[in-house]
Amino acid sequence: MDATPADYDRDPSTIHIVRPQRPANATPAGSACDTFFIPMKISSITCIGAGYVGGPTMAVIADRCPHIQVTVVDANAERIAAWNNGPLPIFEPGLEAVVKRARGRNLHFSTDIDKAIANADCIFIAVNTPTKTEGEGAGKASDLRFVEACTRHIAKSARDHTLVVEKSTLPVRSAERVREVLDTAGTGKTFDVLSNPEFLAEGTAIADLENPDRVLIGCENPVAAQALVDVYAQWVPAEKILTTNVWSAEMAKLAANAMLAQRVSSINALSAFCEATGADVDEVARAIGTDSRIGGKFLKAGVGFGGSCFKKDILNLVYLCEHHGLPEVAAYWQQVVEINEWQKRRVAQTVIKNLGGTVKGKRIAVLGFAFKKDTNDTREAPSVTVCTELLAAGAELVVHDPKVSHAKILADLKDSPRAAACHYANTVADACKGADAAVVVTDWDAFRTLDWVTLAQSMQSGAWVFDARNCVDHKAVRAAGLRLWAVGKPMTS
C-alpha cells in the first residue's frame, strides 16, 4: 500500500514528518529511502546546552534564519538567566549584538527542557563531554553521561518525528548509542540521528559561525540531511556544506582537533630547539609556513595549548585507538599531549632558572589567565600549570587578566599549593608594581602595546620579562632596561 500524505504529515505548516508506512515495493528497511522522498522542513530548533557552543551557534542560526524558532535550554538556571538578562555568561566578540538582534524574536533561552523538546522538529545536543574521571577508560575516554541524559529526555518528550543532531564532540560511533537509547525507549516515536560537529574557536566564534570554512553534516538519511543543509544554506555557500556518513563526521571532528593540536605541539617542540641553537621560532614558522603544502596557520609557538577540547579530544582518540588494538597510533597522539604538558612546565621552570634558581618570596606578575585572547574561558588554561609550578616553588603571584575574575582564578587554583599567595590586580601596572618578573601567559592584544618604560620604573631593578607568547614588543622591553626571555627566541634578539 502506498503511503498517503496523511501518513507523512500531521501539521502541514510546520511539516512534522511522521515516518510513513513502508510501501510493499520499497527498498529494504534501514535504507536511505526509509523516510521516503518528502522534503522535511525545520521550523523549530531546540538546543540542549547553553554553553560556549550552544549559545553562540544558536544565536547565529536564529539571526540568519528568522523563520525558525530557536530555543536554547540548559539545566543550569543561572546560565539561562544570564542569557536572558545579561551580562551574557560567556565573552565572545560580536556575540552580544547577535543575541540582541534575535532574542525575544526567534531566539529564546529557557529551563523548560520538556516543553522545548516537544516543540522542536530538530534538537541539537550541545552539552559537555568531558574526560571520564572514573570507571572504564578513566582519564582518557569521553564521559557521555550528559549526552545520554539528553537522549533519554528527548526520547521521553519528543512529539513527532524528530531530527536529533549531535553538536557535542563525541567518540566515533556515538550516534549508534544515541539511536539505541532513542529506539529502545519504546515510545513509538521516530528519529533521525545526525552528526553536525562544531568547528568554531573561542574568541572568533561569531566570525567562524558566520563564515565557516565548512559545515559538516553526517547522516544516513539524505532527506534529514537535506533539512539541516537547508538551515545552514541560509547563509553558508553550498560548496562549504559537506555531507558525509555519520561515522566520518564524528571522526573528522576528532581528527581536526588532533591535527591542529599536533601543529601546536610541533612548533612548541621546535621552539625549545630554536632556543638551544640560536634560531628564531617565528622566522622558522614563517619560512616553513610559506610552503603551500604546510601553510602558515597554527604555527605560533607559545606556552602550550589550552581550552576545553584539544586535550580531551586527543585523549579520547588515544583511548579509541587503544580500544581498536592500535597501540602505535595511540602512542603517536598521546605524545602530542605529552609535549604540551612539557611545554607548560618548561615555561615555569625557565622563569625559576633565570631568577637565580629560586622564586621563593619573589613577586611575579602573571599577565593573562584565559587560555587564549578574546575569551574568559580558563578551561585547561596553561596559566594554571604555570601558576601552580611557581606557587609550589614559593613565588608570590599577582595575576591580571582583562576578562577573567579574581574569583575564577582562585577557583582554578584551588588545588594548587599556596593558592593564597596568588593575588589579583585590575591593571597590568598594578600587577607589575614591585615585581621581580612579569610572565606573559595569554596573548591579549592589549599586551602588545604596553608602556615598558613606565612599567620598568615600578618593577625591581634587574627585573625580567618572560614572554611565553611572543606577543609583547621585545625591543621596547629591552630598551626599558628589562631582561627578556621569549619562547623560541635566541637570548640576544
Catalytic residue list: 198, 253, 309
Closer to ligand UGA by Cβ: residue 71 or 257: 257
Q: In the set 119, 128, 169, 416, which binds ligand UGA (CB under 6 A)?
A: 169
Minimum Å distance from CB 169 to ligand UGA?
6
Q: Which stretch binds ligand NAD (CB under 6 A): 48-56, 210-218, 462-470, 477-485?
A: 48-56
Closer to ligand UGA by Cβ: residue 91 or 305: 305
Alpha-carbon separation of residue 435 from 303, 363, 365, 432, 464 (angstroms): 21, 5, 6, 5, 9
CA distance 77 to 109: 10
Work out whether 370 is an interface residue with ligand NAD (CB under 6 A). no
Which grid cell is 257?
Answer: 582537533
Q: In 3D, which of 217, 235, 224, 230 has the Cα closest to residue 59? A: 235
Peptide bond into 382 cis (omega under 30): no
Q: In the set 8, 91, 232, 305, which binds ligand UGA (CB under 6 A)?
A: 305
3-state helix, strand, coil split of the chain in percent (to 5) is 40, 15, 45
Query: Can you name the residues that pair with 65 across neighbouring β-strands?
Result: none
Query: Can you name the residues that pair with 162 across neighbouring β-strands?
Result: 191
Q: Is 138 within 8 Å of 312 (Cβ atoms)?
A: no
> Which of ligand UGA, ligand NAD, none does residue 302 bind (CB under 5 to 8 Å by kind)?
ligand UGA
Give one DSSP letter per residue of 342-372, joined into a string.
HHHHHHHHHHHHHTTT--TT-EEEEE--SSS
Closer to ligand UGA by Cβ: residue 157 or 316: 316
Work out whether 60 is an interface residue with ligand NAD (CB under 6 A). no
Work out whether 309 is an interface residue with ligand NAD (CB under 6 A). yes
Work out whether 344 is an interface residue with ligand UGA (CB under 6 A). no
Closer to ligand NAD by Cβ: residue 34 or 377: 377
Q: In the set 298, 341, 349, 481, which binds ligand UGA (CB under 6 A)?
A: 298
Work out whether 52 is an interface residue with ligand NAD (CB under 6 A). yes
Q: Which stretch binds ligand NAD (CB under 6 A): 3-11, 18-26, 68-76, 462-470?
A: 68-76
CA distance 61 to 72: 11
Work out whether 308 is an interface residue with ligand NAD (CB under 6 A). yes
Work out whether 53 is an interface residue with ligand NAD (CB under 6 A). yes
Which grid cell is 110?
Answer: 529557557
Q: In 3D, which of 411, 372, 426, 417 has the Cα closest to residue 394? A: 417
Closer to ligand UGA by Cβ: residue 69 or 169: 169
Alpha-carbon separation of residue 130 from 134, 174, 223, 309, 438 (angstroms): 12, 15, 32, 8, 33
Work out whether 51 is an interface residue with ligand NAD (CB under 6 A). yes
Closer to ligand UGA by Cβ: residue 117 or 486: 486
CA distance 422 to 396: 6
Question: Which residues, 264 to 293, sit near ligand UGA by CB under 6 A?
Answer: 264
Q: Which stretch binds ligand NAD (CB under 6 A): 97-105, 196-204, 325-333, 385-393?
A: 196-204
> Which of ligand NAD, ligand UGA, none does residue 75 bind (CB under 5 to 8 Å by kind)?
ligand NAD
Residue with cell 621563593: 360
Q: In 3D, which of 436, 491, 441 has the Cα closest to residue 462? A: 436
Minimum Å distance from CB 201 to ligand UGA?
3
Give the number of C-alpha atoms closer than 13 A to the C-alpha of residue 142, restricted to the C-beta side.
26
Sort 43 into a burial class: Cβ within 10 Å, 0-12 / 13-18 / 19+: middle
CA distance 311 to 264: 12
Closer to ligand UGA by Cβ: residue 101 or 214: 214
Closer to ligand NAD by Cβ: residue 319 or 485: 319
CA distance 402 to 404: 6
Q: In the set 46, 119, 168, 388, which binds ligand NAD (CB under 6 A)?
A: 168
> Which of ligand NAD, ligand UGA, none does residue 127 bind (CB under 5 to 8 Å by kind)?
ligand NAD
Minimum Å distance from CB 492 to ligand UGA?
24
Residues near ligand UGA (CB under 6 A) are 169, 198-202, 257, 260, 264, 298-300, 302, 305-307, 309-310, 371-372
Residues near ligand NAD (CB under 6 A) are 48-54, 74-76, 79, 113, 126-129, 146, 149-150, 168-169, 198, 200, 202, 308-309
